């Protein structure tokens, strides 16, 4: 039973009567069920109302937090997100029925044996209604006195509840102070979680998550990152707003330098913006856009064909169902994407600006503007736009990959942070593994770089390249005094596990054996075999000679074939008769 605190208050009684009218209609497994509303007269003859509701056993999240507080901590972030994900469908149900909960906080969330439930529906009201605004200071949105209860004000309470469960919020006069404690280590440890909280409690309600469903989607992405970070086990998942990676970038950068063994030509490949853009994920078409159905029939594999189809659709203005395609945002965005794929950055930028004049700079537009800036070498502006996309969609890996690649081109050490987040979460984003390995190598952490490359799954088509790259990483960029026998044998094991028919295996064999031969001139080692040859001066000379002759057989030019044979003859051990 829930009784009124002020039984003689006519206004409070009126509110309770209104509550009875619509709360009895609310039926959701995550919301306490209202059975009835009864009245009786008190000793003064005044009517007193009681709500008869479902009994919910268990304890509140507030009590759970207190248990952690005694231990000097808050709830683990992953656990708090899990609780919130279970509550958001209940809020979404209320919003779909024109209602706002208004007073979400740990005290009003009950944890039972098998689920969570919202209790205390006394503050529930219709959207945009004014009058008595109930809520809790420290959780309540600041604009509610101006706008009335809205979905945005409910989203704010979700963010504040998450913050209260996981952070050490400052208090003043018995209430939580607005904002987040910038020095809280949780915010530094979980960057995406920090970004999600900041969007949920943004002072501008227009910048918050537009609905509970979108917040839940981003929370799930953040949860995957947090669990992967905490456990060391990847937690991949499909995005609902971005496509998978279209291809890879930067995979061959290091091993391509060894192609000099094969053809005699110096190869100095560097990462390019064009390569990155062709590989990056792209925003999925908004299914609510008026042009979404048209796009399903007009997007083709070739960008030129896509442009022709889009122009035909645009000139038609109305589709077969009479929809006004001139109102579509996705049609011009797809045209921008096709133009960028074709390298026409100037025209794509003009179309983006025209579209922004009509609808404003939404995150999809910012994404493509960031891509265009990346292609023109304006890395600072690209970083700014991709960061804004990440702040809007903190649970997505796509903007993190874009930021990592942009930082790498700009020489910014932030590349490592974002590559690390993506790779630890999803082992399917192979570009992140190679990018992280490059960043670690540049920082002198070559053993860590090798471990990262070794994490590429054997099922990946880039597994061989990863093994060869790790072998090169073990031996390159180090002086002879820094290389150890263990480094050489570790590189050899990686190459030995691959068949000679794999591309570049022959040249990496030559690299490993040649490095071992040079190293042995100033060091001693076990004579155990390496790549089929004894680890001795004589054995390694035989190995290098054999590798060079094998390379000569597949050399693309006669001149290089002769050069390899001459080199093989120069290193072969002295023949005795």
Please give the positions annotated as active site: 103
CB 158 within 8 A of CB 215: yes
CB 382 within 8 A of CB 374: yes
Cβ neighbours for 123, distance < 8 A, ≥ 6 positions apart: 101, 102, 103, 134, 135
CB 351 within 8 A of CB 332: yes
The most distant pair of C-alpha atoms in the chain lies apart, rounded to whole Å, by: 126
Q: Which of 80, 79, 222 is nearest to 164 (CA)?
A: 80
- C-alpha gyration radius of the chain: 31
- CA 525 distance to own-chain centroid: 46
CB 385 within 8 A of CB 228: no
Q: Which of 327, 335, 346 is nearest to 306 (CA)?
A: 335
CA distance 237 to 483: 40
Other beta carbons less than 10 A from residue 248's beta carbon? 21
C-alpha distances in Å from residue 259, one per residue of 120, 159, 253, 266, 503: 70, 53, 11, 8, 10
CA distance 150 to 352: 32
Which residues on adjacent β-strands are paired with residue 55?
none
CB 246 within 8 A of CB 278: yes
Q: What pairing do the DSSP bridges indicate for beta strands 99-100 and 125-126?
A: antiparallel
CA distance 426 to 342: 29
Other beta carbons less than 10 A from residue 172's beta carbon? 10
CA distance 78 to 76: 6
């Amino acid at each position: 039973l829930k009784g009124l605190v002020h039984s003689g208050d006519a206004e409070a009684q009126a509110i309770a009567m209104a509550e009875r009218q619509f709360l009895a209609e609310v039926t959701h497994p995550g919301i306490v069920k209202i059975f009835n509303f009864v009245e009786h007269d008190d000793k003064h003859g005044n009517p007193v109302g009681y709500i008869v509701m479902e009994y919910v056993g268990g304890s509140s999240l507030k009590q759970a937090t207190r248990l952690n507080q005694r231990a000097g901590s808050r709830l683990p972030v992953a656990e708090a997100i899990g609780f919130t994900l279970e509550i958001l469908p209940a809020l979404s149900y209320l919003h779909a029925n024109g209602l706002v909960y208004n007073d979400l906080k740990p005290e009003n969330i009950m944890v039972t044996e098998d689920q969570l439930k919202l209790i205390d529906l006394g503050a529930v009201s219709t959207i945009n209604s004014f009058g008595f605004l109930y809520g809790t200071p420290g959780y309540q949105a600041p604009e509610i006195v101006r706008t009335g209860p809205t979905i945005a004000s409910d989203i704010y309470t979700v963010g504040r509840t998450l913050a209260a469960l996981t952070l050490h919020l400052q208090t003043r006069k018995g209430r939580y102070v607005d904002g987040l404690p910038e020095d809280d280590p949780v915010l530094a440890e979980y960057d995406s979680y920090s970004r999600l909280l900041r969007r949920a409690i943004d002072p501008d309600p227009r910048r918050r998550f537009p609905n509970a469903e979108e917040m839940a989607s981003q929370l799930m992405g953040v949860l995957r990152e947090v669990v992967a970070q905490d456990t060391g086990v990847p937690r991949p998942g499909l995005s609902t707003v971005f496509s998978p990676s279209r291809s890879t970038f930067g995979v061959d950068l290091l091993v391509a330098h060894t192609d000099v063994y094969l053809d005699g030509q110096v190869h100095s490949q560097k990462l390019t913006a064009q390569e990155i853009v062709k590989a990056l994920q792209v925003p999925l078409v908004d299914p609510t856009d008026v042009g979404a159905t048209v796009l399903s029939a007009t997007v083709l594999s070739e960008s030129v064909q896509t442009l022709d189809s889009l122009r035909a659709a645009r000139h038609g203005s109305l589709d077969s169902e009479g929809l006004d395609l001139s109102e579509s945002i996705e049609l011009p965005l797809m045209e921008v994407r096709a133009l960028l794929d074709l390298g026409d950055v100037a025209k794509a930028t003009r179309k983006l600006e025209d579209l922004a004049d009509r609808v404003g700079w939404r995150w999809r537009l910012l994404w493509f503007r960031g891509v265009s800036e990346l292609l023109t070498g304006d890395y600072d502006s690209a970083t700014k736009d991709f960061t804004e996309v990440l702040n809007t969609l903190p649970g997505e890996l796509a903007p993190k990959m874009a930021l990592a690649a942009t930082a790498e081109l700009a020489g910014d050490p932030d590349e490592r942070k974002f590559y690390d987040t993506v790779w630890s979460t999803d082992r399917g984003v192979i570009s992140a593994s190679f990018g992280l390995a490059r960043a670690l190598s540049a920082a002198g952490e070559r053993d860590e770089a090798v471990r990262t490359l070794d994490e590429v799954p054997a099922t990946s088509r880039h597994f061989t390249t990863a093994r060869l790259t790790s072998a090169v990483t073990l031996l390159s960029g180090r002086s002879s005094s820094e290389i150890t026998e263990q480094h050489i044998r570790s590189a050899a094991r990686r190459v030995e596990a691959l068949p000679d028919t794999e591309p570049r295996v022959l040249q990496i064999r030559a690299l490993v054996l040649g490095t071992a031969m040079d190293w042995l001139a100033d060091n001693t080692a076990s004579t155990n075999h390496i790549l089929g040859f004894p680890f001795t001066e004589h054995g390694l000379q035989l190995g290098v000679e054999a590798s060079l002759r094998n390379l000569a057989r597949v050399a693309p030019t006669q001149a290089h074939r002769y050069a390899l044979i001459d080199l093989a003859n120069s290193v072969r051990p002295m023949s005795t008769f």
